[in-house]
Amino acid sequence: MTRQINGDDLREQVAGELLRSRARSTALTDAVDEHDLVRQHSKLMSPLVWDLAHIGNQEELWLVRDVGGREPVRSDIDEYYDAFKFSRSVRPELPLLNPKEARQYVGDVRGKVFDVLEKVPLQGRRLVENGFAFGMIVQHEQQHDETMLATHQLRTGEPVLHAPLPPGGNLVPATETFIPGGPFEMGTSDEPWALDNERPAHAVHVDSFFIDTTPVTNGEYAEFILAGGYDDRRLWTDDGWEHRTNAKLVAPRFWQREEHSFVRTAFGVTEPIVPDEPVVHVCFHEAQAYATWAKKRLPTEAEWEKAARFDTAAGRTRRYPWGDEEPAEQHANLNQRHLRPAPVGAYPAGASPAGVHQLIGDVWEWTSSDFGPYPGFEVFPYREYSEVFFGPDYKVLRGGSFGTDKSAIRATFRNWDYPIRRQIFAGFRCARDA
């Protein structure tokens, strides 16, 4: 989003983003039959039809009822689509809307939302300023689309999603780069659609460190496995070892070992791993063990953001690694344009001033940091967006994946998950003390 957008331009931009997110939700749910929409592909995920109606329900709560002050479309279903009321594992047993009803419902809500968008003043109330509530709902839908993409990855059966291959890799001049110590501005106070946990902008001192110029690749990760990394207790934390043992981890999720090589299955297609593609579907503990094996560590969240945004020569923090302009095709592997991470060096135009590649897009990157509030954090607009998740249970992930939409990623954007999660499109890069 550009920082200040007014009147008709803003309404037009919001409408475009609403249409783009809906086209994606529709494609992800139309790709499978009724049975695949209502069934649970994994205990970790909701049925796809739940995500669809939940997208509509959140949109109704915020844009139809709150922003628009209109009558409910369907107040009888709120509780079934409240993510805090019923966990993912029990959602299939709820009296959910069937696929036809869910499609009808999200369409009815959207019709009212376009009417609200036309009529409501986009000022005078913080919730609507710069179209924030609409932006929040666009991001919410795109985030659920990424979740639905993860459900597609867990689904078994013939491939139903198709996309062109990402651009080819290029040689990246150095494997790591030095980031000089000193303060930088972390977070944001002026990005109109930034969420509460990204705010406010604040100065953070970061000691000098080195960070890898690319995410860790399949080839590098395979070396760690073949070197016995999963069996070497010394590489794992206590929690990590316990989890690796209980969950019997031996390789990234969706990998199969064949003697000394590996194949992986992605969206129904099984093929040999591509050595120079970033590794994906590893949990925090696996990332941490790899980093220890490589005699490095995971970056902190502040280190990641400094490497992504800080322009040492200019002494200023950028919006994105490549500058202030919106992500375009040459910058990053986003928007589900491709169904896999791109090989390292595929996006030289997206590198940060320090020469760090592929920070945005490709794979979410685990950091060593717990999810917590920035100094001066204020809940907005509701506690359940971020605040209830703050604490040591969740680790922060940065940068977005190939399945993240550009509206739902910024260099300040913070994602969080349990350190054992592997169904998300997460990889990592390493750092080390200078």
131 φ/ψ angles, rounded to the nearest 5 degrees = 75, 25
Count of C-beta atoms within a 10 Å radius of residue 369: 20
CB 278 within 8 A of CB 287: no
Q: Residue 356, annotated ligand binder?
A: no
- Angle, in degrees to the nearest 10, between helices 48-59 and 132-154: 180
Question: Rounded to whole angstroms, how far apart are CA atoms 145 and 138?
Answer: 11
Question: Rounded to whole angstroms, how far apart are CA atoms 27 and 180?
Answer: 45
DSSP state of 278: B
Cis peptide before 200 (omega within 30 of 0): yes
Q: Residue 38, annotated ligand binder?
A: no
Q: In angstroms, what CA-CA distances link 184 with 179, 316, 318, 328?
A: 11, 7, 10, 26
Q: Residue 297, annotated ligand binder?
A: no
Q: In angstroms, what CA-CA distances link 114 with 12, 17, 68, 110?
A: 11, 12, 10, 6
Q: In angstroms, what CA-CA distances link 182 with 89, 206, 379?
A: 46, 6, 29
Q: Residue 140, annotated ligand binder?
A: yes
- In degrees, rounded to 5, the angle at the alpha carbon of residue 331 between the alpha carbons of residues 20 and 4 is 60
Question: Rounded to whole angstroms, how far apart are CA atoms 243 and 236?
Answer: 10
Question: Rounded to whole angstroms, how far apart are CA atoms 62 and 68?
Answer: 8
Question: Rounded to whole angstroms, how far apart are CA atoms 274 and 418?
Answer: 27
Whose structure tokens read 């009724």?
A: 34
Q: Residue 352, annotated ligand binder?
A: no
Count of C-beta atoms within a 10 Å radius of residue 141: 27
Q: Residue 417, annotated ligand binder?
A: yes
Burial 320-343 (b: 16+ CB within 10 A, else e): bbbeeeebeeebbbbbbbbbbbbb
- In degrees, rounded to 5, the angle at the alpha carbon of residue 405 between the alpha carbons of residues 402 and 411 is 85
Whose structure tokens read 């409408």?
A: 15
Q: Residue 285, annotated ligand binder?
A: no
Burial 302-315 (b: 16+ CB within 10 A, else e): bbbbbbbbbeeeee
Q: Residue 421, annotated ligand binder?
A: yes
Give the residue numbers of the binding site for gamma-L-glutamyl-L-cysteine: 88-91, 417, 421
Give the residue numbers of the binding site for Fe cation: 54, 140, 144
Give the residue numbers of the binding site: 54, 88-91, 140, 144, 417, 421
